[in-house]
Amino acid sequence: MLARAFVISLERATTRFEHAKSLLSQLPMEAEILPAVDGSQMSDAEVAACYQRHVHQPRYPFALRRGEIGCFLSHRNAWQKILDSELDAALILEDDVLVDGDQFQSAIEFVRGHAPKDSYVQLPVRKVPRDVISLSSRGPHRMLLPTVTPLRTSGQWVTRLAAKKLLRATETFDRPVDTTLQMHWITDVRLLTLDPSGIRDLTTELGGSTIGVGKKRSLTLEKVSREFNRAMYRAKIARLSSKACA
């Protein structure tokens, strides 16, 4: 199997970029930095060429920030790199993860040996959901099929066939990359989840998110409204996910 690792990182985020470079020597295959798309530097025309609101149902309730658009395009670049490099699969990491040595090594060995040839396997940094089907296991590692795809794109194993489908389905997008990946009835790519993954989140230690999502301490009307809309949206996705899995 021809595989390579890509670490997505925004060069101007110097602390995270230095951490990304340090990750390269810790990965169990040939690895390189994949420069992130800087959404803040995109023109209105560049944004309009890839992003439109309300393309799919259920409607995503929020307009995307430029950072979220850049993040999505960064992952699309990684998927395109898989095709251009004629890889069978790629390990794609964001620059805010910490690799846990031996556990990560065994996790990748397990994925390489057990992931289907058309799969996208999440390497989560959060606890896996309870509503899952166990597909295979070796040692401490399990390959799981969740009813509702967990959010976040901290780490993933993406095969060539999955990358091709995702590129075709996301030429225009209307929501963040992780919420789009939940909609396997749109992308035709059902995400699997690996537990344990051998990585953990370092976002806070590295200075916070680079996509412009901050947490407000005060309970404003705007925040209450966003939380309500977010909860309603996630409930719709959960219902559609259950229906698509029936």
What's the confidence (pLDDT) of residue 173? 98
Could you tell me the CA-to-CA distances from 170 to 123, 134, 140, 173, 205 in Å, in that order? 21, 29, 34, 5, 32
The pLDDT score that the predictor gives to residue 216 is 52
pLDDT of residue 215: 53
- Give the C-alpha separation, 2 to 90, whole Å: 9
The CATH number linked to 157 is: 3.90.550
pLDDT of residue 206: 78
- Block mean pLDDT (10 aa), the chain, length 246: 96 93 95 97 97 97 97 98 98 96 94 94 94 95 96 97 98 98 97 96 79 62 91 97 85
pLDDT of residue 127: 93
Into how many domains does the chain fold? 1
Q: What pLDDT score was predicted for residue 140? A: 95
> How many angstroms separate the CA atoms of 144 and 193, rounded?
5
Rounded Cα–Cα distance for residues 4 and 124 (Å) = 19
Looking at residue 217, what is its pLDDT?
56
Range of the domain at 47: 3-245
What's 67-133 look like in SS3? HHHHHHHHHHHHHHHHHHCCCCEEEEEECCEEECHHHHHHHHHHHHHHCCCCCEEECCCCCCCCCEE
